[in-house]
Structure 1
């Protein structure tokens, strides 16, 4: 898996660009659209946590285990969220797509669908992955439904998988797409974008 450390993934509706420290203000503005930092089922940076959020993401990139992106709306030019490849395991050609959040106004739009298509396409076709996984809070019904709509397969529940900022011991649901499934998943995502349907 010989890959650039800072790839840019460009689509028609969305572009995924390398996360940078000077984007803190724009990221906070995106997270303020819906006050996403108040969500209990995911972790979104707020005014008091943005520096630590950036530190962790950029340290992971330096270590080679994380590839963090901002998500930009190509039409408006505004940052509308963030996502990343993480748990990158080059020896076993697998990774996880996670830490994904979108401003309330960008949710269930073509931006979300296309961002996932760009990430999956890069993982399977540029990085040569044989497995891409997703993990979400067992309580996050919206996220679980969205991952299933991608064509991912639910594998099971990982009990007490992490401790949330409020101290809750989170059970997580794990999903995956494997390389054999990618052509059909890609075709379905392209069809959804072609029809102009939102996710």
Structure 2
């Protein structure tokens, strides 16, 4: 059964359902830093974007993926992508992943608000008891970003996947569980409020 398509809207960012028509905008966003050249994650480029979108939409059709484009509300510009995937409704868990932002908006506060929107929807609307995150052991920036939003590191999964260049990737797994969400939600709200406080 196809996953529901929802729009998640905050003050600075809006998450809209990914469509095939977003291909050019995703490539434009990824060109901000030529992110497709990164070795520690898979980000669509001009040659791979159609397959990237097709895989996401097939997952949505199967009911295991909810893919989004990340839109800046002040400009209407697509600046990246993220998704719920590994959706397991029986066990009420999922993973937030395939997340990337153009280089110029990284560490801008958009990621914090986006993750808050996703976590709120997953835990409060979809009634998830577990939300997990997985990143490359070598991706120090991603690991730090996941810890900053209140997730706990659980361990390292060895040779968890084969990267496009053939490297056997060790992945670090993190999670936030439903019991932790009230504290995490308060912390994220404080982080977002501090971003909006004018600097004297």
Provide the C-alpha distance between the structure 1 equivalents of 2:41 and 2:98, rounded to a whole number of angstroms. 8
Aligned to 2:115: 116
Distance change >3 Å, CA 44–CA 109, structure 1 → 2: same
Deviation at 1:111, TM superposition (A): 1.1
Aligned to 2:35: 36
CA distance in 1: counterparts of 2:160 and 2:48, whole angstroms: 22
Cα 1:126–1:139, aligned 2, differ >3 Å: closer, same or farther?
same
Q: Work out the CA distance in 2 between the residues paired with 1:40 and 1:58.
A: 24
Which residues in structure 2 correspond to 1:59-70 (within 5 Å)?
59-70=58-69
Change in CA separation of 1:110 and 1:121 when aligned onto 2, cut-off 3 Å? same
Aligned partner of 1:136 in structure 2 is 135
Pairwise CA RMSD of aligned residues?
Answer: 1.3
1:1-199 pair list within 5 angstroms: 5-196=4-195
Structure 2: runs of 5 or more not aligned: none
| Residues 3 and 62 in structure 2, CA contact (< 8 A), matched pair in contact too | no
**Partners of 2:153 and 2:3 in 1: how far apart?**
30
CA distance in 2: counterparts of 1:54 and 1:193, whole angstroms: 30
| Structure 1 segments of 4+ aligned residues over 3 angstroms from their partners | none
Hey, what's the Cα distance between the residues in 2 that align with 1:108 and 1:194?
A: 15
TM-score by length of 1: 0.96
The answer on whether the counterparts of 1:3 and 1:127 sit within 8 Å (CA) in structure 2 is no
Report the Cα offset of residue 3 of structure 1: 9.8
Deviation, structure 1 residue 177: 0.3
Q: 2:179 aligns to what SS in structure 1? A: coil
